[in-house]
Structure formats: structure tokens, C-alpha cells
Amino acid sequence: MESAAENASTALFREYLRIKSVQPQPDYDGIVRFLFKMAEEIGLEKKTLEFSPGRTIVILTWRGTQPHLKSVILNSHTDVVPVFEEFWTYPPFAAHKDKDGNIYARGTQDMKSVTIQYIEAIRQLKTEGRKFPRTIHLTMVPDEEIGGHMGMELLVDHPDFRALNPGITLDEGLANPTDEFSVFYGEKCVWWITVYCRGDPGHGSRFIENSAATKLHSVVTSFLDFREKEKKRFESNPSLTLGDVTTINLTKVSGGVSCNVIPSEMSATFDLRIPPTVNLEEFESQIEKWCQAAGDQVTFEYHQKCMNQKMTTPEDSNPWWKAFSDPCKELGLKLKPEIFPAATDSRYIRTAGFDALGFSPMNNTPILLHDHNEYLNEDIFLRGILIYSRIISSLASVPPSAGNQ
């Protein structure tokens, strides 16, 4: 639904959605041109960093009146996940708006809406002539959807990031289908592990006792039994969120060369997401016991093993949290502090020793990130700009005290 009188922020959002920054070949050049145009319109300092060819990081800055104070960082990623167009009602990069104001496009929720909400909130504050003691930086990073290894993971260890003097970072959250707004103060530890089982080969007509398959069966059973226990614990306690329990999923099984040959090696790969409240050393010991119980010649390899369990305190004793939550309360928002169930760039920020909160102002909205027909309603989007303007104002005005100078 096109309209000559469409809200300017909505039009900007839809323009941004039409840039095909889709993996595996994101149009990062188009993203940079768009963001630099925004910086020039609003009057923000702009720069780029590039740690890998074509993987451009954009940093826009609104300098505070007391630039020596720790800054407010508004982070977002610029890439989006692939699409299967045959399952979409509207073309996924057309940014179609229907009669109900729902805007359909890849990235509406994850997370181009947030980027534009940051920009439009700052545009509004600057138009009002507001000034703040703390500097505000917008960091727009590449490749989050494939792990952030060429983006935020490198950025947090670079002197240019330290030079931003980070105090608090806002990053992406999730939609919430209820009246509540989810806000994430920590993330699960992601472990990807492959277990290799070796045994005696033989003819498919025989009972081979020491086979790789029997060992693999034992391993898979141990992992999935634990999965079932955690699933039951989650389902039996309404106060628990997905971020409070460990998820385990079998994602790959390999082995065998022929239908009638018992293989000498088989393997299984698992995706584990472990809450930061779990004792990781004890959990790793449990995995070792599962593998030992399966028999000899059972080994395992970690492809990813996050051991960082740092969290941002979601209590008023933390001045950053108080500055974030107070304007939300004034707006009548129901905040639901949670552990993020998957992984975002916030994990790198917290690992580097800085506070971070994950928040996308999308309530009464189905969670559609990475799904077909991803959409966001225009009214929800526009309200998010108001919410961010209040939050950014509050964070950038936090008076200096111990820990946030």
C-alpha cells in the first residue's frame, strides 16, 4: 500500500529494507552509502573500519558536551539471512506494506527496524535542539548472521573500539507476542560439538559387538535424554523462559560407505545453548562421562565453545539499567528481563568487559526472525522511535559516578 502522505520514518525504513544485504553476498556498499547519507542529513560524524575486505563497519557519532565520559553505543548489524522466495506472500526485498500497515521484508525484525529507529530517534532529538553530556555512537556491523567473526568479534578487540570509551551498549533483542517488552541482560553459551565413535567394521549380516553404531547410539541417547529432561523442566514451570534452560539438538549424523558394510567410524554433531547460570566445568565433565560410557575410541571436538558468562545486572543498583528502565516505566512499558536464548553480537561486547542490553521495541508481535513472511507493523515501528528517543536521552544523561565516568 503506497501513500504520498506516508510517514517519512516509515518511508526511510522501507528504503533501507530494499537494500539486499543478504548473506552470503550482502550489498555492504549500498548499506554504507545509505548510512552516510543519513549521517550527512542529521549532522553526525562518520567513519568506516574494515578488518576483512568488503566487510565494512560504519560508525556514526554524536559528540557529547563532556566527551571524556563513557559513551552510549547503539549497535546493530547490517546483514540479513537468506530467503526462500517461493514461501513469501510478497517479494522479500520489496518492503510491501499491506492495508493493516504490516511491512513485509527480510530484516524487518532482525534488525533493520532498530537501525532506523536509532537514526530517527537521534534525528528527532537533534531537531529539538537537545544536547547531552555523553557521546552517542552508532555502530553498524557486518556478518552477525554468520557469527560476527569479521565484524563485532574483531571490532571489540580493536583500539578504535576502546577509543569509543564504551559505557553501555544497546543491541538487538526479540519481538514479544504479548504486551511485554523483552530485554536481554545475558546470553547463553553456544557449544557446537562433534562426537566421533570408532569401532570394528564388518559385514552387514553379522552382530558386530564393538561397532561404531552402538557407541553412537549410546552417545545420542545420553544427549537427547538430557534434552528431554530440560524440555520437561521448561514446560512444567511457567516462570522459566527459553533462556533459563539448556537446549540440545542433534544437527548432523555422518558415517558409512555402503548399505551392507558396518562402518568403522560414525559421528554426531550437537548444538548446545547453555544458560550463564550453569557451571560449565561440571557440564563439560558430564559430556566426557557420556562419551566414556559409550565405550572406547569415542572422542569429541568443539567447533565453538563459549565460556564467557558475563551478564549485565538488571537492577536499579546498576545506573545503566536504571537509566534504561526508568523511561520505559514512564511510558508504561512492561519490561521482561531475560537471558537471550540464542546468540547476538552482545556476547562479544560483554566478553570484552562492557555492559550490554538486548532490546528491540516490538511487543504484540510474533517472533519472525529468520522466518518466511517476516514483517513488522508500522505503528509498532513508529512507537519504537519514541521509545528509543526516551531511552537514549536517559542513557546519555546519566551523571558520572563510580564505574561510569
Q: Give the domain ranges of the chain.
A: 8-187+311-395, 189-275+277-305
CB atoms within 10 A of CB 87: 10
Q: Which residue out of 143, 144, 145, 172 is catalytically annotated? A: 144
CB 53 within 8 A of CB 123: no
- pTM higher than the cut 0.95: no
45-52 and 55-62 strand pairing? antiparallel
- Per the structure block, which three cell numbers stand in for 377? 507493523
Active site residue 144: yes
Distance CA 66, CA 399 (A): 11
Domain 8-187+311-395: top CATH class: alpha beta
Q: Give me the tens of pLDDT residue by residue for the chain, a chain 405 residues long.
A: 445 589 999 999 999 999 999 999 999 999 999 999 999 999 999 999 999 999 999 999 999 999 999 999 999 999 999 999 999 999 999 999 999 999 999 999 999 999 999 999 999 999 999 999 999 999 999 999 999 999 999 999 999 999 999 999 999 999 999 999 999 999 999 999 999 999 999 999 999 999 999 999 999 999 999 999 999 999 999 999 999 999 999 999 999 999 999 999 999 999 999 999 999 999 999 999 999 999 999 999 999 999 989 999 999 999 999 999 999 999 999 999 999 998 899 999 999 999 999 999 999 999 999 999 999 999 999 999 999 999 999 999 999 985 667
Distance CA 187, CA 386 (A): 27
Distance CA 390, CA 37 (A): 24
Q: Which fold has domain 189-275+277-305?
A: Alpha-Beta Plaits (3.30.70)
